[in-house]
Amino acid sequence: MRVHKMWKRDDGISPGAFQNHNSGMSTDWSKYSTAEATRARATKLELLYAVIQMRVGDVRMVPNQVVRHTPDVARNNRAHTDVIGDKKKEKIRVKLRRIAVLVLPWEP
């Protein structure tokens, strides 16, 4: 998942980075993408984005979160995957933050 620089904190990623856009939280499935390709799909300057990784099994352990492979044919992204479920509660976002691993940091 891409994380915009605005969510960068001294202690890592702000829990606010974990939110739904339209039908869910947009991510890419590593089976079909690399961290570099995920960052390159950014619509703005790609250097403003870090890339994090979360294990599907760990995400599914977060209450009321469902992982669904949702390829984006219009953008030629077969890796696209949504994490569906309410993320308005801080405790849900904190749990997602705890399982996230930074794989490509923000560029200086």
Domain that holds residue 49: 2-104
pLDDT at 3: 96
What is the average pLDDT across 77-92? 97
pLDDT at 55: 97
Residue (of 62, 52, 61, 38) closest to 7 by Cα position? 52
Residue 63, judged by CB atoms within 10 A of its CB (0-12, 13-18, 19+), counts as exposed
- The count of structural domains within the chain is 1
pLDDT at 43: 77
pLDDT tens-digit readout, 20-79: 998 899 999 999 999 999 999 987 777 799 999 999 999 999 999 999 999 999 989 999
Query: Using CA atoms, how far apart are residues 36 and 54, in angstroms rounded to an integer?
Result: 16
Query: Using CA atoms, how far apart are residues 64 and 85, in angstroms rounded to an integer?
Result: 6
Query: Using CA atoms, how far apart are residues 58 and 96, in angstroms rounded to an integer?
Result: 9
Distance set, CA 9 to CA 27, 33, 52, 62, 68 (Å): 21, 26, 14, 23, 29
